[in-house]
Amino acid sequence: MNALERVLPAPIPTQDSQPFWDAAKEGRFLIKRCANCGKAHWYPRPLCPFCLSDDTVWLDSAGTGVIYTFSVMVRAAAPFVLAFVTLDEGPTLLSNLVNCEPGALAIGQPVRVLFRASDGEYPVPVFEPASNRQTTLPRAIADSALRAADDR
């Protein structure tokens, strides 16, 4: 079973989240860090949830983390996996796990972000097992390189 072959609903950017969605269109995953206390937070917002400072800055996340917990939605028409992912920068966020075998997932497993098209203008960040990509090449190039290797 390959999880999540469903179309995700389009996000509706707000004034505060617009930079996040603009970056998502470029394949960049932004989070926010507080310049006062130094902690990163999710979701992006103008006030730091730890110290209430309004001195927050956008930060390009590495997009890597681990599964904090997950749940397989087996009763959906197209089964999918919801998960809380703890980013290497610290914050934990709710997302979807894709390109995975749900029965082989484990808490603590390394994952990394990728973007899936939504039914609107902006792509949505989801995560896949980090073991799917042992390369730093862009995914499309890596996939075509793998196909070329398979053809040999």
CA distance 13 to 44: 12
Among 36, 86, 92, 118, binds Zn ion (CB under 5 A): 36
The reply on whether position 30 binds Zn ion by CB under 5 A is no
Least distance between Zn ion and beta carbon 16 (Å): 16
Nearest to 3 by CA among 144, 90, 126, 141: 126
**CA separation (Å) from 22 to 30, 111, 116, 128, 147?**
10, 23, 14, 22, 32
Among 4, 30, 31, 34, binds Zn ion (CB under 5 A): 34
**CA separation (Å) from 136 to 27, 128, 132?**
14, 15, 11
Stretch that binds Zn ion, among 5-13, 35-43, 88-96, 129-137 (CB under 5 A): 35-43
User: For residue 105, what is the DSSP state?
Assistant: -
Longest dimension (CA), the chain: 58
The reply on whether position 48 binds Zn ion by CB under 5 A is yes
The reply on whether position 50 binds Zn ion by CB under 5 A is yes
Among 1, 7, 51, 94, binds Zn ion (CB under 5 A): 51
Total residues contacting Zn ion by CB under 5 A comes to 7
Nearer to Zn ion, 87 or 97 (CB): 87
Residues near Zn ion (CB under 5 A) are 34, 36-37, 48, 50-51, 53
